[in-house]
Amino acid sequence: MSGLIITSSVLVVGRESKEMITYKEVPSTQSKFVSIQCDKCKKIVTDELYVQEFHMIRFQGGYASVFGDETNVRCDLCQDCLKEMIGEFCHYGDEE
Protein backbone atom coordinates (compact mmCIF):
# COMPACT_ATOMS: atom_id res chain seq x y z
CA MET A 1 0.00 0.00 0.00
CA SER A 2 1.49 3.34 -1.08
CA GLY A 3 0.89 6.49 0.89
CA LEU A 4 1.40 10.23 0.69
CA ILE A 5 1.28 12.23 3.91
CA ILE A 6 1.85 15.97 4.19
CA THR A 7 2.26 17.45 7.66
CA SER A 8 3.36 21.03 8.34
CA SER A 9 6.56 21.33 6.31
CA VAL A 10 7.35 17.61 6.08
CA LEU A 11 6.34 15.42 3.12
CA VAL A 12 6.58 11.65 3.54
CA VAL A 13 6.26 9.34 0.54
CA GLY A 14 6.58 5.57 0.72
CA ARG A 15 5.17 2.06 0.82
CA GLU A 16 4.04 0.86 4.19
CA SER A 17 6.79 1.60 6.70
CA LYS A 18 9.71 -0.19 4.98
CA GLU A 19 10.84 2.36 2.36
CA MET A 20 10.25 5.93 3.48
CA ILE A 21 11.57 9.13 1.90
CA THR A 22 11.28 12.28 3.98
CA TYR A 23 11.51 15.84 2.62
CA LYS A 24 11.91 18.93 4.76
CA GLU A 25 11.83 22.57 3.72
CA VAL A 26 15.12 24.34 4.34
CA PRO A 27 15.81 28.04 4.24
CA SER A 28 17.66 29.21 1.14
CA THR A 29 19.13 32.47 -0.06
CA GLN A 30 18.32 33.44 -3.61
CA SER A 31 19.80 36.21 -5.69
CA LYS A 32 17.60 38.18 -8.06
CA PHE A 33 18.95 40.16 -11.00
CA VAL A 34 18.59 43.91 -10.53
CA SER A 35 20.88 45.60 -13.06
CA ILE A 36 24.16 45.48 -14.97
CA GLN A 37 26.29 48.36 -16.23
CA CYS A 38 28.33 48.37 -19.43
CA ASP A 39 31.97 49.12 -18.63
CA LYS A 40 32.41 51.09 -21.86
CA CYS A 41 29.31 53.29 -22.31
CA LYS A 42 28.19 53.11 -18.64
CA LYS A 43 24.61 52.30 -19.68
CA ILE A 44 22.70 50.63 -16.82
CA VAL A 45 20.37 47.85 -17.95
CA THR A 46 17.53 46.41 -15.87
CA ASP A 47 15.73 44.46 -18.62
CA GLU A 48 16.44 40.75 -18.12
CA LEU A 49 15.94 40.05 -21.84
CA TYR A 50 18.46 42.68 -22.93
CA VAL A 51 20.99 41.30 -20.44
CA GLN A 52 21.03 38.06 -22.43
CA GLU A 53 22.98 40.00 -25.06
CA PHE A 54 25.52 41.40 -22.59
CA HIS A 55 28.98 39.88 -22.86
CA MET A 56 30.66 39.20 -19.54
CA ILE A 57 34.35 38.60 -20.14
CA ARG A 58 36.33 36.90 -17.38
CA PHE A 59 39.84 35.47 -17.64
CA GLN A 60 43.20 35.32 -15.94
CA GLY A 61 46.29 36.60 -17.69
CA GLY A 62 48.92 33.95 -18.34
CA TYR A 63 52.70 34.11 -18.43
CA ALA A 64 53.86 37.27 -20.27
CA SER A 65 50.25 38.44 -20.75
CA VAL A 66 49.78 42.09 -21.75
CA PHE A 67 47.27 42.21 -18.88
CA GLY A 68 49.84 41.01 -16.34
CA ASP A 69 50.87 37.58 -15.12
CA GLU A 70 48.00 35.90 -13.26
CA THR A 71 45.96 39.11 -13.32
CA ASN A 72 42.20 38.53 -13.09
CA VAL A 73 40.50 40.51 -15.84
CA ARG A 74 36.77 41.21 -16.14
CA CYS A 75 34.71 43.35 -18.44
CA ASP A 76 30.95 43.64 -19.00
CA LEU A 77 29.97 44.98 -22.41
CA CYS A 78 26.56 45.69 -23.91
CA GLN A 79 25.99 44.32 -27.40
CA ASP A 80 26.18 47.80 -28.96
CA CYS A 81 29.63 48.52 -27.54
CA LEU A 82 30.92 45.06 -28.40
CA LYS A 83 29.77 45.45 -32.00
CA GLU A 84 31.35 48.92 -32.17
CA MET A 85 34.65 47.50 -30.91
CA ILE A 86 34.92 44.26 -32.90
CA GLY A 87 32.15 44.40 -35.51
CA GLU A 88 34.46 44.96 -38.46
CA PHE A 89 36.44 41.83 -37.54
CA CYS A 90 33.42 39.52 -37.07
CA HIS A 91 32.31 36.88 -39.53
CA TYR A 92 28.53 36.54 -39.82
CA GLY A 93 26.38 33.69 -41.05
CA ASP A 94 26.73 29.93 -40.96
CA GLU A 95 30.44 29.83 -41.75
CA GLU A 96 32.52 27.56 -39.55
- From the list 49, 38, 47, the residue with the least C-alpha distance to 79 is 38
Nearest residue to 78 via CA among 25, 27, 35: 35
d(CA 44, CA 65): 30
- The pLDDT score that the predictor gives to residue 57 is 95
Each residue of 41-86: pLDDT tens digit? Answer: 999 999 989 989 999 999 999 999 999 999 999 999 999 999 999 9
Element (H, E) at 45: strand 44-45
Spatial contact of 10 and 23, defined as CB atoms under 8 Å apart? yes
pTM listed for this prediction: 0.63
Output the pLDDT for position 16: 46
> Which among 71, 68, 72, 38 is positioned nearest to 56, based on CA atoms?
38
Domain boundaries defined on the chain: 36-89
